[in-house]
Structure 1
Amino acid sequence: MKAVQLPKYESTPELIEIADPEVTSPLDVVVRIGGAGVCRTDLHIIEGQWAEKSGVTLPYTLGHENAGWVEAVGSAVTNVAVGDAVILHPLVTCGLCRACRDGDDVHCTSSSFPGIDSDGGYAEYLKTTARSAIRLDDALQPADVAALADAGLTAYHAVAKAARKLRPGDRAVVIGAGGLGHIGVQVLRALSSVEMIVVDRSAEALALARELGADHTVLADGTQVEQVIELTGGDGAEAVIDFVGEGGAIEDGVASLRRNGNYYVIGYGGTLAVPTIDIISTEINFIGNLVGSYNDLAELMVLAAQGRVTLHTSAYPLADFGQALDDLDHGKVRGRAILVP
């Protein structure tokens, strides 16, 4: 099969021929890829930022946002069948550890992460397990939802946490309305009646946020914190959901938070530096968010099938992976780029 592999860090990935994956275990599922999301994390992987953390042996196949059709199954697989359209939870998990049994499988103690520390879905086929496969509603196509497997899942995981705390009349600030943020806006609107304020540097992104349900939009022009404080009656917001995590977003977000507010960190790249006296004197909380559970993804697929969460995508043939990565790197992708074999 054709696959896009990274031969070494800080180099251009290569489209090569490798062996097709095969079923070797009773719970294996081989999927014919219908869409693989192109994520900024892939750029970070290529740059070597994940080298130490992932410990992966190069070369290997990129791609951790994957959906397609079941091509083959092991003898013990009962939840999906050959021909089913599926989206894949990004982790391959054991099902036996305490985290898995708690439904918190993103923290499985013996998981692998295709596209991060094992072969991923920038390819024609991918091997995963039955525990990772979620059958898609007939209204959904793999290429249309593939990026929800990570970008959407991460957004849902964080926003669902926030929604469980927020009450009618509360205010939430969403920082960033791009690839992850525009999904987060939709999820927040679907799950909560909160008054939503979206902050972004792009007027186009803010226009999309208004279409998707934002109550207020604020252009990040240097006065964004003052505008948020004014919109929140001088108090700040009960929640800040930060899909950027760098370039001044953290400082703005902390300044936009009210006393006893919750700051949800999703975007990364910057450094959180807050005096401890400020944290204890206002009782603000910082909450990290890493991908999401199988159940989170299943719930997100319900919203997608209902049309309450839609993904804005730009499709590229698998052979044009380099263009997709370059377009993403230079901010030319609206929503999410999807590779289609």
Structure 2
Amino acid sequence: MDVLSDAIAVMRTGRPHSARTEKHAPWGLRFHSEGRSGFHALLEGSAWLVPADESAPPVRLAPGDLVFIAHRGGHALVGEPGTPVEDVSLLPDGTWPRAPEPDPGDGRPPSAVMICGAYLLDEGRSHPLLSELPDVVHLPASDAGNGGLRAVLDLLGDELARPRPGSDTIVTSLLDTLLLLILRTWWLRVRGDEGEPTGWAAALADPAVAAALRAIHSDPAHPWTVEELGALSHLSRAPFARRFTASVGRPPLAYLTWWRMTSAAGWLREPDGAPLRSVAERAGYATEFAFAKAFKREFGLAPGRYRKLRAAG
């Protein structure tokens, strides 16, 4: 199984949304922290991203550049630094407001054409792979290896500019693809930087640890032992456990339990979800009672109560 894809799958709690926007100078937008991660991609023109942290420098965006706001941080997007900004808030359903564009008056082309998007991710169960992201991930179009991002952005921009039958599903699929490409591009960049990678970049680059992670993600219900996981990479118990813990941040069986509970929470959030007995079996528990006890220890709620609260919220 793909650890990165799994990490996104268990964190996704709603449908992503996006909008294509044309702006005429002077313009400035302020985005507040609203419980969503998001991105801005510049298709044409120029723009600056201004982080909420005043100590962080503004980021200049060129055509094809993308910035991902990983941790729901407030920020501004402006045509030029110092431009006054207007507040932008998502609608209650998570979609972008469709405010009318001001008439430039003289037929000038827009100074910026952008795609902005938002993802609802459950950071309460954030996978460490995502927790390690910086607040702002800047992926310039000039970087080698960003061709896939540009291709998806071109398709997304076309669907948003000219909606046709099937566009709703296509846009959602493209947004999911874009998020995975953003994270993969960042991870490959971190792994390829000079010096030894650290954290989850090191974990996924280490064949022994990566093999164990793939096994856990592939079959979380299996009664894995440290010896069995280590044997996948021809390591004895103690060296494997030290290596896994150092890069992942949890001992192997602790990570297994955490992943089982995190996966179970995602399954419980699914509409028309499976019976609790089936969720317990998928999570590696022989009885509902044993599963409920482990789940309540992790979340402070019984699985049935968790499901009802998430469905209501």
Range class of TM-score, shorter chain: under 0.3
Which structure is larger by alpha-carbon Rg, 1 or 2? 2
Structure with the higher helix share, 1 or 2: 2
TM-score by length of 2: 0.25
